[in-house]
Amino acid sequence: MLFRAPLRRRSPLFGICVGRRARLAYIGGEHGVVVPPEILTKRLRLDDLTADDAHALFTYRSHPEVTRFQGWCPAAVEDAGAFIARNATKPFNQHDSWYQLAIRAADTGALIGDFGVHFIGDDGQQAEIGFTIDPASQRRGLGSEAVIAVLDHLFTALQKHRVYASVDPRNEASMALLKKVGMRQEAHFRESLFWKGEWVDDVVFALLRSEWRA
Ligand SMILES: CC(C)(COP(=O)(O)OP(=O)(O)OC[C@H]1O[C@@H](n2cnc3c(N)ncnc32)[C@H](O)[C@@H]1OP(=O)(O)O)[C@@H](O)C(=O)NCCC(=O)NCCS
């Protein structure tokens, strides 16, 4: 129950924010990383959102299939741009702060999604994740590929102790993805969140570093 309070604060955007293009930089050890990573996979590159991403971000983030389970719904391109600009100064891996990475096609650099990491608590040991893939790019395994890459980064590079995700159980895609990547369902809270005008269930998936690639 110690982690109940943060879980109830489902981010309206799963932590959209932006930082500077950069590679990993360590300041004072693994918990002092303040510069966002560039994470490469076979098909994806995760890095900073930039002002040039505002149109694509607005387009898929305002798609009904995305807004159904995500709280933030930009009404105009300017909203997406303002959000990117507002968050551009946030450091990565800052306690009690969300950081949002761009998910790009590795070959073209096109924005196809975004990935939020919520760095929990003062001890820097836990993180919450949230992710979105443009409906035009869904069901190709890209969401799973991004989640696996970020989990690996959080457990390996940043040495997080525990990573969790909070999901509405009606979100079949997200439920399937989290099971597929090996996260454990730890809890199912009945009508524990008042979300978009109704009480909704909240399912928590988690993984420990000791379980990662075990
Ligand atoms: C959740 C989301 C990121 C999945 O992205 P994706 O790239 O389509 O995921 P993947 O292709 O890696 O699929 C992962 C698993 O989910 C399943 N899946 C994907 N979409 C599904 C859907 N609409 N219904 C049921 N299962 C689905 C896939 O079949 C796959 O399982 P399998 O390999 O066992 O068949 C995407 O649907 C999305 O962005 N949704 C809107 C935002 C959102 O709800 N984010 C999560 C908030 S917790």
Residue with CA at minimum distance from ligand 1 atom 35? 176
Position 146: which residue type?
A: A
Task: Give me ligand 1 centre to Cα 97, in Å.
Answer: 25
What's the Cα-to-Cα distance from 76 to each of 13, 72, 79, 82, 130, rounded to whole Å?
A: 15, 12, 5, 10, 22
3-state secondary structure of 174: helix
Distance 68 CA to ligand 1 centre (A): 14
97 in contact with ligand 1, CB cutoff 6 A: no
For ligand 1, the distance from its centroid to the CA atom of residue 31, given in whole angstroms, is: 31
Residue nearest to atom 12 of ligand 1 (CA): 141
* Tens-place pLDDT, residues 93-134: 989 988 899 999 999 999 999 999 999 988 999 999 999 999
pLDDT of residue 28: 34
Specify the length of the chain in residues. Answer: 214
User: Would you say the CB of residue 19 lies under 6 angstroms from ligand 1?
Assistant: no
Q: What is the pLDDT of residues 29-47, one digit of tens each?
A: 445 667 888 999 999 999 9
What is the full per-residue pLDDT of the chain (214 aa) written as tens digits? 222 233 333 433 333 322 222 323 333 344 566 788 899 999 999 999 999 999 999 999 999 999 999 988 899 999 999 989 877 788 889 899 888 999 999 999 999 999 999 999 889 999 999 999 999 999 999 999 999 999 999 999 999 999 999 999 999 999 999 999 999 999 999 999 999 999 999 999 999 999 998 7
CATH architecture of the domain covering 4-165: 3-Layer(aba) Sandwich (3.40)
Cα R_g (the chain), whole angstroms: 16
Q: Which of 101, 151, 174, 201 to mutate to test the pocket of ligand 1 (most atoms within 8 A of CB)?
A: 174
